[in-house]
A and B are shown apart, each in its own frame.
Chain A
Amino acid sequence: GAVVSQHPSWVICKSGTSVKIECRSLDFQATTMFWYRQFPKQSLMLMATSNEGSKATYEQGVEKDKFLINHASLTLSTLTVTSAHPEDSSFYICSALGQGATEAFFGQGTRLTVV
């Protein structure tokens, strides 16, 4: 299957700082990327959908000013957690969908710990 790479795999940051997570499709062009969040011992919940070159669509309850999503190219989407707080500590994972494709591929995820 296609390869989606997420970076970093884990990050620890201080409360109040911002953290950027990258999601790259390595061998295909991803017209759509999805960002999910998974709290400990819970399922994965969709946060937002981003299409290349346009604004992301956020799911209900997700603060768009706190979780900034940029999908500036067909191979890269970034999620920036701004002014991070301990409650933002979670596992963030992206998936990428190619144009005309019917299957999205997942990155390996990023474990964020805010101290």
Chain B
Amino acid sequence: AQKVTQAQTEISVVEKEDVTLDCVYETRDTTYYLFWYKQPPSGELVFLIRRNSFDEQNEISGRYSWNFQKSTSSFNFTITASQVVDSAVYFCALITNAGKSTFGDGTTLTVKP
């Protein structure tokens, strides 16, 4: 069985603050993929990043960065210098080779001006 836990239900920060969204996963598969998606109020899922289980390199993309720690089964997401447009629900997801996705419950991020 697979499980993704996003312990933070809601986070509220003031613009320009840094914020980290936590994600912890469980799987027995040795090959898997981890994703982060952003879901704005309009509802569509916006792809942010994909990581496979063999690639533990951290990644930075503009104000976004991701920290993949296989030893702790975590895949945390940090937004630096947050902006109001970052306000959304963020989902962490685990996908196996079979293609099935298991999503966390999501973290609602509110960035106040």
Residues on A lying within 8 angstroms of B by beta carbon are: 1, 32, 34, 36, 42-46, 49, 91, 93, 95, 97, 101-104, 106, 108-109, 111
Q: List 20 A-B contacts (CB under 8 A).
A: A1-B47, A36-B101, A42-B106, A43-B91, A43-B103, A45-B103, A46-B100, A46-B101, A46-B102, A49-B99, A91-B43, A93-B45, A95-B99, A95-B101, A102-B33, A102-B52, A104-B95, A106-B47, A108-B45, A109-B45
Say whether, besides A34-B100, A44-B101, A44-B103, A106 and B45 are in contact (CB < 8 Å).
Answer: yes
Question: Which single residue of chain B is at the shortest CB-CB distance from A104?
Answer: B99
B44 interface neighbour in A46, A95, A104, A109, Cβ under 8 Å? A109
Is there a chain A Cβ closer than 8 Å to B105's Cβ? yes
Q: 0/1 per residue, B27-61, Cβ < 8 Å to A?
A: 00000010001000001110100101000000000
Total contacts A to B, CB within 8 angstroms? 47
Chain A neighbourhood of B33, CB < 8 A = 102-103
Question: Which single residue of chain B is at the shortest CB-CB distance from A33?
Answer: B99
Shortest A82–chain B CB gap in Å is 23
Question: Which single residue of chain B is at the shortest CB-CB distance from A96?
Answer: B99
Question: Which single residue of chain B is at the shortest CB-CB distance from A36?
Answer: B101
Chain B neighbourhood of A42, CB < 8 A = 105-106
Beyond the given pairs A34-B99, A44-B103, 12 more chain A to chain B contacts, judged by CB atoms under 8 angstroms and listed by A's residue number, are A42-B105, A42-B106, A43-B105, A43-B106, A44-B91, A46-B100, A91-B43, A93-B45, A95-B101, A97-B99, A103-B95, A104-B99
Q: How far is the CA of A1 from the CA of B35 in the complex (A)?
A: 14
Chain B neighbourhood of A101, CB < 8 A = 99
Chain B neighbourhood of A93, CB < 8 A = 45
Chain B neighbourhood of A1, CB < 8 A = 47
Q: How far is the CA of A95 from the CA of B99 in the complex (A)?
A: 9
Chain B neighbourhood of A43, CB < 8 A = 91, 103-106
Is there a chain A Cβ closer than 8 Å to B97's Cβ? yes
Say whether, besides A103-B33, A104-B95, A111 and B100 are in contact (CB < 8 Å).
Answer: no
Chain B neighbourhood of A103, CB < 8 A = 33, 50, 95
